[in-house]
Amino acid sequence: MEGLSHITFIVRDLEKATMFFERIFDAKGVYSSGDDTFSLSREKFS
């Protein structure tokens, strides 16, 4: 395996999950749908 494209997590608290990934994996936000929903939930990509 050369790499990873993406993984989807469906979470109850998007902001809490974001803080977790930023702290543990040094993730950086690259997109946020805000209040718009294009799928079943709000989206945020890190």
User: Domains of the chain: which residue ranges?
Assistant: 1-46
- pLDDT on residue 16: 93
Q: What sign does the CA torsion over 16, 7, 35, 33 have?
A: positive
Residue 33 identity (one-letter amino acid): S
Structure tokens at 26: 């040094």
- pLDDT on residue 2: 85
Catalytic residues: 43
**pLDDT per residue as tens digits for the range 1-46:** 688 777 878 888 988 998 999 899 898 877 776 666 666 666 666 5
Residue 6 identity (one-letter amino acid): H
- pLDDT on residue 20: 94
Could you say which DSSP state residue 4 is in?
-
Compute the residue count for the chain: 46
